[in-house]
Amino acid sequence: MSSKPNTSPWLEQVKWNADGLVAAIAQDAKSGRVLMMAWMNSESLQLTISSGDAVYWSRSRNKLWRKGESSGHVQKIHSIALDCDGDALLMQVEQIGGIACHTGRESCFYRQLKGDNWQSMEAVLKDPATMYKSVDQ
Q: What is the pLDDT of residues 75-105, one digit of tens each?
A: 999 999 999 999 999 999 999 999 999 999 9
23 pLDDT more than 80: yes
The span from the CA of 92 to the CA of 117, in Å, is 31
**Band of residue 24 on the pLDDT scale cut at 50, 70, 90:** very high
Q: Is 85 annotated as a binding residue?
A: yes
> Which fold would CATH assign to domain 16-131?
Ubiquitin-like (UB roll) (3.10.20)
Q: Is 84 annotated as a binding residue?
A: yes
Q: How far is CA 132 from CA 34, 75, 124, 136, in A?
A: 22, 16, 15, 8
- At 7 the pLDDT is 67
Q: Is 136 annotated as a binding residue?
A: no
Q: Is 101 annotated as a binding residue?
A: yes
Average pLDDT over all residues of the chain: 91
Q: Give the residues across from 107 on adjacent strands.
A: none
Q: pTM above the 0.95 mark?
A: no
Q: Is 53 annotated as a binding residue?
A: no
Q: Find the mean pLDDT for residues 2-19.
A: 80
